[in-house]
Amino acid sequence: MNGTGTPAHGSTGTPAQGTARAGRRGRPRSAAVDTAVVETVLRLLEQGVTIGELSMERIAREAGVGKAALYRRWAGKEELMLDVLRSLDDVSQPEPPGVSVRDDLVVLLEFLRRRGLAKRSSAVLRTVVTQVKAHPRLWNEYHRTVVTARREAVFAVLRRGMATGEVRSDLDVELLAELFVSPMLTRALLHEWEDLSEGLAERIVDTVLEGVRPRERAFSG
Amino acid sequence: MNGTGTPAHGSTGTPAQGTARAGRRGRPRSAAVDTAVVETVLRLLEQGVTIGELSMERIAREAGVGKAALYRRWAGKEELMLDVLRSLDDVSQPEPPGVSVRDDLVVLLEFLRRRGLAKRSSAVLRTVVTQVKAHPRLWNEYHRTVVTARREAVFAVLRRGMATGEVRSDLDVELLAELFVSPMLTRALLHEWEDLSEGLAERIVDTVLEGVRPRERAFSG
DNA sequence: TTATTTCGATACGGACCCGTTCCGTATCGG
DNA sequence: CCGATACGGAACGGGTCCGTATCGAAATAA
């Protein structure tokens, strides 16, 4: 039925390994096609194009690629978008140094801040995350792959802080994590016009740690 | 040029006042059409339909309404969506009682929590906000109309708290507001699987006020 | 060389959509 | 009653998209 014989859509699993696989007979797939397509989709999303406005036809056109080359690799738009999403996660979260909970949290939040500012990520993250959230299947995949790992890192830091007494241990870890993370997320994803200014991570962490109610001249040492 | 003479698209300005305007000559517009259309769009969005998948044709079909009736009221999908958005804002935010900053913040956050749980709002808010965020023009309008007012209410409470000494006055009001609001927003909009459990507003407000670092036996009176 | 697979390009039929226009009917003001 | 405007329904021409197929050329393995 399928003219290509064994389809072998590269989508699920390895993210676009289109280049020649061992013992393949004919002309190998061009890696340039894979990158051109992914880059094009990212560029379009950066420019504010909606996923709904993205068609396989348009992607092929703007990438300078034949439609056949697309369908040879991905079964449809959804499969393609999944690979595009995965291509955003190559930059890994920094390992928190582990000296103090305060500094570790700053490191993790600073990563989010810089990510929200990064040339490639800024618009893409805003747009892609927004767009992807609108498509349950894509969002589930993104969350399962990326978000969960980040949350776990924060949990670990907080649990360590509870053990060392740097953090109150009478609170729910998940809620605690959100107190630190969500202000940064909100600015990065929801309030695009607000600035992710220098030192924001420190201010958030310190304020949440210290509390908003005035302290009655408490010594911290 | 336009067959309808003076078009008078009701969209911008009054949100769907389609019923008869004074001194109109012919058959008045049916209010049933307006409500049927808006309700249908909300229902579809609740069911997870993307804005991109919403066509005027489909809206008319599912609402049991002629396309002409749509184009008689709205110039296009965007204008229609704006009116749908406006229809979500009829439920107004409660006025904070003004006894204590802590209780006022709880009231405001509790409103967000209940809104996130409400039968009609839950899926609609999640879906609509997500969808609308993906369309800059719609998002700007929504933000200008709704979000700003809510933020100002929080600002007012916090400024009052700074004056009465209930809140540290050495902090940026906007950042402060986000420390309280964004955890609730994150749960309501981003983490749909998490629960907006009873007492969440109180826990957020109290924890942010008190701080996450263990207090050294501080008296609060 | 030969068989195979890829490439970009182009075309196809079928589906859906857009915004407009026209029906026949219903409902209002004058 | 009559002119005007509304209604739902159906059709229009023009467009985009989908997924598949076919083309000649290029690139590889056997």
Going from N- to C-terminal start, the domains of chain A cover: 31-87, 91-210
Check whether B47 has a pLDDT greater than 90.
Answer: no
User: In 3D, which of B205, B155, B162 has the Cα closest to residue B177?
Assistant: B155
**Among the listed ranges A12-16, B117-121, B204-208, which one has the minimum average pLDDT value?**
A12-16
Chain A, nearest residue to B46 by Cα: A134
Q: What does the DSSP 8-state code read for residue B47?
A: T
3-state helix, strand, coil in chain A (%, to 5): 60, 0, 40
Name B122's Cβ contacts closer than 8 Å, sequence gap at least 6.
Answer: B116
- Residue A1: count of CB within 10 angstroms of its CB: 2
What is the fold, at CATH topology level, of the domain defined by A91-210?
Tetracycline Repressor; domain 2 (1.10.357)
pLDDT tens-digit map of B50-100: 888 999 999 999 999 999 999 999 999 999 998 988 887 666 778 888 889
CA distance A68 to A52: 21
* Cβ of residue A21 lies below 7 Å from strand D: no
**Among the listed ranges A14-28, A31-45, A195-209, B77-91, which one has the minimum average pLDDT value?**
A14-28
Helix (H, G, I), strand (E, B) or coil at B3: coil
Mean of the per-residue pLDDT values of chain B: 82
**B171–A50 CB contact, under 8 Å:** no
The confidence score (pLDDT) of residue A47 equals 83
Q: What angle do CA A16, A17, A19 make, to 5 degrees?
A: 125
Q: What is the mean pLDDT of residues A143-171?
A: 91
E-strand ranges in chain B read none
Chain A, nearest residue to B137 by Cα: A48
Q: Which tokens sit at A78?
A: 């959804």
Q: Which tokens sit at A107?
A: 């490191």
CATH code for A31-87? Answer: 1.10.357.10
The confidence score (pLDDT) of residue B166 equals 95
Instruction: List CB contacts (< 8 A) between B168 and chain A.
Output: 212-214
Instruction: List CB contacts (< 8 A) between B216 and chain A.
Output: 218-219
- Residue B15: count of CB within 10 angstroms of its CB: 18
A12 or A144, greater pLDDT = A144
The confidence score (pLDDT) of residue B131 equals 73
Check whether A205 has a pLDDT greater than 60.
Answer: yes
Q: Which pairs with CB-CB distance under 8 Å and at least 24 residues apart come from B214-221?
A: B214/A165, B214/A166, B214/A167, B214/A168, B215/A211, B215/A215, B215/A218, B216/A218, B216/A219, B218/A215, B218/A216, B218/A218, B219/A216, B220/A213
**A211–B214 CB contact, under 8 Å:** no
Residue with tokens 């309404």: B65
CA distance A217 to A126: 41
Cβ-contact A181, A154 below 8 angstroms: yes
Same fold for the domain at B31-87 and the one at B91-210? yes
For residue A4, what pLDDT band results from cuts at 50, 70 and 90? very low
Please give the nucleotide, over all strands, whose C1' is closest to the CA of residue B58. C17
Best of A178, A194, A213, A215 to mutate (most B CBs within 10 Å, chain B): A213
Cα B179 to Cα A189, A219, B131, B174, B202: the distances in Å are 15, 24, 25, 9, 14
Name A38's Cβ contacts closer than 8 Å, sequence gap at least 6.
Answer: A16, A83, A84, A87
Q: What is the mean pLDDT of residues A64-93?
A: 88
CA distance A187 to A183: 6
Check whether A19 has a pLDDT greater than 70.
Answer: no
Q: What is the distance in angstroms measured between the alpha-carbon CA of A51 and the sugar C1' of C13?
A: 26
The confidence score (pLDDT) of residue A23 equals 64
